[in-house]
A and B are shown apart, each in its own frame.
Chain A
Amino acid sequence: MSILRVENAEARYEGNVIFENLCLDVIKGKITTIIGPNGCGKSTLLKTMGRILKPKFGKVYLQDQDINTLPTQEIAKRLTLLPQNPIAPGELGVEELISYGRYPHRKNISNLTTEDKEKIEWALEITHTLPYRDRPLGSLSGGQRQKVWLAMALAQDTTVLLLDEPTTYLDLAHQLDVLQIVENLNHHHQCTVVMVLHDINHAARFSHEIVGMRDGKIMATGSPHELITADTLKQIFHIDARIMVDPSNGSPVCFGYESALAEEEFVLHKEKENVAT
């Protein structure tokens, strides 16, 4: 069942069309990952779904309601988007930042309710950020900070979670840590997750659905096994990938690849030469 639906959407950035006539159904309770080369429009798609960008044409539906007609605060109770590299003042306290996530649920400026406090506590716990709850944001490492931002998004208590490259700039262990938190949320708290990832192996390991984009078009959607294949990866990234199955968890793994661009150019070159002669 679809919880978030994009219908014939067109997005532009300063007059340039990023994508047009794009349709996507996000299945409720699943982790969907969007992959694709730089500039293919995957972040723009995520922002359009999270009403950060308004589509020029087309519609986005959240639980069958047009996102443009819903009050933004109402949407914020159901859907949250964590932007890529979010920023906040370094002096800001961790717990303070996480409490901002309660904004859509608050009615006035009075103190936090018991429910607010419980949700903040839960968010701290689930993201393993309890040890530094009293520290200022600036004193944390990149990985710790990303988990705090994730905690803020979780304090919003939404069923849909949109994450824009949540693992960028993190070391290997922290990348895994963040993705495992996401997996746990999906598994135990029925969160629907849509994220943009660059690492196809992470996408394969942690997603139920993968959406492959190139040049503003969705090239393929499907399970990791359907999508992480030499053929589709060549279509999406223009690479010749070598794929095998990870024996420990059964997910497909790309263990090496060559650029297919050189080969393509060679073919093009040949064609030109043929035309010339």
Chain B
Amino acid sequence: MLSKPTGFRYIKSLLILIALLITLFYISLTNGTFDLTVSDVLHAFLRINPVPTHDFVLFDLRLPRIVVASLVGLGLGIAGAVIQGVTKNGLADPGILGINAGAGAAIVLFLFFFHEQIGSFSVLMQPLFGLIGGLGAAVIIYLLAWKNGRIDTQRLILTGIAISSGFGALAMYLSLKMKSTDFEMATLWSMGSVYNANWQSIFAMLPWFILLIPIYRKSYLLDLFQLEESSLKSLGVSLEKEKAILLLSSIGLVSACVSVSGGIGFIGLMAPHIAKQLVGLRHRYIIPICGLIGMTLVVGSDFIAKNLFPAEISVGIVISIIGVPYFLYLLLTARS
């Protein structure tokens, strides 16, 4: 029962977003403090008379950064759609699950205690700590939201907010006692940035994207989640099992993303709304579109953060500049 108009809109949106993304990749690869031409880029990729400086700029600086930005956008966008679907709350965001705050606190903790001892090795360890912190916070929230053998989604959101501010306070307390260089690193991370992207961090987060498979397979179920719980039970949905699969998959995905990029907000909030406006209510369409919108937003914002300001700023700040007005717009339209 693939209705013609939505199917057509899906394909159209998909193609436009892919074209947009390719354009952004191209602009991000060629522009910067060191401008490259198309042929420079092509030569470097096809290994025709490679120039070492070009190789360095492309493969060690720009490409990993674009890949990290894309993966983070993909993960956060899709996790946002799932979390909004499961909690039936259009204003929910992956940050609500406490992952950002948990990962933040863990990274501050790490910088505070271990940074000195491990030295250069710490760049590799930082995402790992972020991951542990993010998963830890999410699990605590999940357990606290568990009542009478079920996850109450309202409770999930409220505990998420409470635990988030708890971890935020912890991170703040520790970072005030830090050395100024560590403090700067912690602040930069907490604002969300992909400037120190490298191939190691990409390989560290990539395995978590396997979780996209269960999410896409369950996308039909997210349509049903638009109904109330008694209707879902009557339809034979194993509610708690499915909720757990969907939420835990999103938690894994988001943890992997924020452990590398820091607390980037609003992507998981904005992408699902834009996707729904483009392709309607079917999650089989929403999920891929959401991923592409997330990628476009993060890659585009990172380009702006890197090039359009006198000094480079965090991508998280650019996204917030776009995100805050959008959030207010959503609030206002939701009320009317």
Q: CB within 8 Å of B: which residues of A? A: 47, 50-52, 71-77, 80-83, 86-89, 91-93, 95-96, 99-101, 103-104, 106, 108-109, 111-112, 116-117, 120, 153, 156
Contacts and interface: CB of A to CB of B under 8 A. Distances in A.
Contact of A83 (B3, B224, B228, B284): B228
A104 B236 contact: yes
Contacts of A153: 234
B332 interface: no
Given A109-B217, A112-B1, A117-B1, A104 B235 contact: yes
Instruction: Classify the secondary structure of B's interface with A.
Output: loop
Given A91-B280, A92-B281, A104-B235, 6 more contacts: A73-B237, A75-B236, A76-B235, A86-B228, A111-B2, A116-B1
A74 B219 CA distance: 21
B223 interface: yes
A91 B230 contact: no
B226 interface: yes
Contacts of B234: 50, 52, 76, 80-83, 153
B286 to A, nearest CB: 13
A47 B230 contact: yes
A173 to B, nearest CB: 26
Nearest to A83: B230
Contact of B236 (A76, A83, A86): A76
B196 interface: no
Enumerate the 3 nearest inter-chain pairs by beta-carbon distance, A residue then B residue, closest first: A76-B236, A73-B236, A104-B236
29 contacts: A50-B233, A50-B234, A51-B233, A52-B233, A73-B237, A73-B238, A74-B236, A76-B235, A81-B230, A83-B228, A83-B230, A83-B231, A86-B227, A86-B230, A86-B231, A87-B228, A91-B280, A92-B226, A93-B3, A96-B1, A96-B223, A100-B223, A100-B235, A103-B235, A103-B237, A108-B217, A111-B1, A117-B1, A156-B235
Contacts of A104: 235-236
B220 interface: yes
Given A72-B236, A73-B236, A87 B1 contact: no
Given A72-B238, A81-B230, A83-B231, A103 B224 contact: yes
Contacts of A101: 235
A91 B230 CA distance: 21
Nearest to B239: A72
Contacts, number: 76
Contacts of A71: 238
A68 B227 CA distance: 23
Contacts of B235: 76, 80, 100-101, 103-104, 156
B266 to A, nearest CB: 23
Contacts of A112: 1
A72 B226 contact: no
Contact of B281 (A50, A77, A91): A91
Contact of A109 (B219, B227, B228, B281): B219
A140 to B, nearest CB: 16
B212 to A, nearest CB: 14
Most buried by A among B226, B228, B284: B226
Given A109-B219, A112-B1, A100 B233 contact: no
Contacts of B223: 96, 100
Contacts of A75: 236
Contacts of B230: 47, 52, 81, 83, 86
Contacts of A83: 228, 230-231, 234
Contacts of B281: 89, 91-92, 96
A103 B2 CA distance: 16
A135 B237 CA distance: 26
Given A91-B281, A95-B1, A72 B227 contact: no
Contact of B227 (A73, A88, A95, A106): A88
Nearest to A84: B230
Nearest to A72: B236
A222 B261 CA distance: 68
Most buried by A among B235, B237, B284: B235
A83 B227 CA distance: 11
Contact of B233 (A72, A82, A86, A111): A72
Contacts of B284: 109
A100 B219 CA distance: 13
B87 to A, nearest CB: 15
Interface in B196-234: 217, 219-220, 223-224, 226-228, 230-231, 233-234
Nearest to A81: B234
Nearest to A93: B3
Contacts of B227: 86-88, 100
Contacts of A52: 230, 233-234
B303 to A, nearest CB: 34
